[in-house]
Structure 1
Amino acid sequence: MTISISFRGKTYTVDTPLSSPLSVLTEQLEALTGVPQSNQKLVWKGRKTTSSDSTLEEAGLTQGTKIMLMGTTANELDALKSTEAQVQRRDAIMARRAAIGPSKVRSTGSSSTEQQQFRFHRIEPLPHLPKPEEALNILTKLANDPAVKHVMALHKFSVGVLTELAPHEHPNLLGLNVNGGEAIKLRIRTDSYDGFRLYSEIRRVSLHELTHNVWGPHDDKFKTLNSELNREVAQFEAAAREGAHPLNGGGSMYEPTAAAHSHSHVGGMTGGTNVLGGGSSPISLEERRARAVQAAMQRFKEQEQELEDRCAT
């Protein structure tokens, strides 16, 4: 009997007698895919049993049956163990720092208490998917993104777990908010599993899901808050590019530093843009920021409808 096995976008063909036990099939699959027998999960239409001692015929397999294989390879397990060890070491360091007590630092934004309270409290990549260490890095980058931390402190958002959506489990979804912030799940991978989506897209989805901490349905109240979060991120980054910093987590900004001003002086003109035919038209700092924010918001509006269609919060 010929059986087709699908695993992470690839199809494998196996020929084996109907009287063979399932263990023979799983042994062949281990040789083909690198997934140990103990980690294999086989799914097919008409499944009757999960016992490895049952024959293929007893399990409901017939000629041409298509099977989906799910599982983690031995190499991925080793990488996951290494990642877990790194997380444990980091947690141990943080525990030692907490035991010593807070250090005195100069505050340039929201208080350390707010940063500890209003944040993603735990980060969990899916261990059964490829490259869990790279997934951990992406989720960690998002949790530590200054603009994201800014809006979370500003709106007092607290999320229990930041994790990912498996492409095969939720092929049509980009994001999911569970119970108003208990967990936020993001589609960070491409359909090939070992590839990752653009960070800017992942962050945009995260702001959408953070909005669901307050509003459930995609109504006008949701759209208003979602636009506000994206605008605040754009304003934060526009100010950061000009050398300004948020003041106490609010919307006001410090004026740019002298270093930032020095880069705007060209030929004795400050903050100007060239005009065809010579001369310049001065553009203020606030105007530059406003234009950057306006461009970001236009991109946001064009992309938001797709996101609403692919959100199952």
Structure 2
Amino acid sequence: MQSSSITSRGGRRTRHSTLSRLAGLATALTLIATGVAIAPAASAQQNPHERGPAPTESSIEALRGPFSVADTRVSSLVSGFGGGTIYYPTDTSQGTFGAIAVSPGYTGTQSTISWLGPRIASQGFVVFTIDTNTTIDQPDSRGRQLLAALDYLVEDSRVRDRIDSNRLGVMGHSMGGGGSLAAAQDRPALQAAIPMTGWHLSKNWSRVQVPTMVIGAENDLIASVRTHSIPFYESLPSSLDKAYLELDGASHFAPNISNTTIAKYSISWLKRFIDDDTRYEQFLCPAPTDREISEYRDTCPHS
């Protein structure tokens, strides 16, 4: 073997190896002195926003991910929304995290979507489940409140130092889902939006520039997929990274209880677009064949 030959022969080969290393060092020093950048080692992490180990089917279906989570309450006396609960990873060794605000639906409080908080946060996000100013606020108002909650997270919250203000997203149920579409339309700098069994009078979201996963429910009698989720999805620009996921046999209230299908694909969408983590692309493209999904559409491959 060549390595044995170099080790045993010493003499000329060792001197040659030493001279080669010295020559390489001299070249590197010359490049640095003249301002020429040296490429990082191939083993260096290419995506600085990756958080946690490589995902598996079981890891994104689990009730809890790899991060331990703590939570803190936010008073209803804050301006712009009705308070809520922030769930966040306790680990600070991997840097900052992306953040998501989640709105409940009509007549609902944060308790109806609270299960999403620790489940998504444990995968490496800061998650803010909010109460709205009143339980009867309409979708556009809920959209403004989602944005106010994100602003509070990155500017005033106790965990603001844990958050990357450039990596934010919104989610919502029912009128909160309609609110998440409104928020995405109003703030194109967002990285992801997920309306869940969303309700909104507008069926035209052609101005949305935020990667959006629309989650509908096959047996939804309040926001029928034919009059809400499907038109929402179809109105989004064809050039946009977007997906439509329809829950098999589910009702309008599917997002109000712990749901592995919602969690699994929401986590994948948020990881893919808030963290730009292509390790999660495998769960979105090609279209999944999950038996809990009655229909799935996606603009694969993602940009």
Asked if Structure 1 and Structure 2 have the same fold, meaning a TM-score greater than 0.5 normalized by the shorter chain, the answer is no
Give the shorter-chain TM-score range. Answer: under 0.3
What TM-score do you get using the length of structure 2 for normalisation?
A: 0.28
Q: TM-score, normalised by structure 1?
A: 0.27
Bigger radius of gyration among the two: 1
